[in-house]
Amino acid sequence: MLDQLGIKKMRNVRDGKKDTSKEATTNTWKETMSDLMTFKNGTKVTAADQWPKRRAEIVDDFEVHVYGRIPENFPKGTWEVTSTTEGESGGIAIVTKTLVGC
């Protein structure tokens, strides 16, 4: 198939022969990820009212390490819903909204 597509070289990725049918072998980076239910200071989330604080830490990590922060001088935008359509996808009710903004 690679020859038919003209692909001469593959990127260096995980070993495709590795068994990924078991959770233990699926995510090789699991040990480097922080526990979702542990605060950055090492204490565990033990009650529901602690979750908003831990969630804020997780959101902050995503802003810093995944998405990037929005610059302070980023211009404000306005959005308007121009149409709403209710439907179904795979047996699940969905709502599609078309937005126009600047």
pLDDT digits 0-9 by tens, 33-79: 778 899 999 999 999 999 999 999 999 998 888 888 888 888 888 99
Query: Residue 55's CB: how many other CB atoms inside 10 A?
Result: 12
Residue 95 domain flag:
yes
CA 36 – CA 101 distance, rounded (Å): 35
**Does residue 101 contact residue 77 with C-beta atoms inside 8 Å?**
yes
**Does residue 83 contact residue 97 with C-beta atoms inside 8 Å?**
yes
Residue 91 domain flag:
yes
Residue 97 domain flag:
yes
SS3 59: helix
Residue 30 domain flag:
yes
Residue 49 domain flag:
yes
The tally of domains found in the chain comes to: 1
**What was the pLDDT predicted at 38?**
94
pTM summary value: 0.47
The residues near 99 (Cβ < 8 Å, ≥ 6 apart) are: 79, 80, 81, 82
Residue 57 domain flag:
yes
Range(s) of the domain holding residue 45: 19-101
pLDDT tens by residue, 68-83: 888 888 888 899 999 9
Q: How confident is the model at residue 13 (pLDDT cuts 50, 70, 90)?
A: low
Residue 61 domain flag:
yes
Rg (CA), the chain: 22
Which tops the pLDDT comparison, 33 or 25?
33
Residue 46 domain flag:
yes
Query: Residue 54's CB: how many other CB atoms inside 10 A?
Result: 17
Beta bridge partners of 81: 99
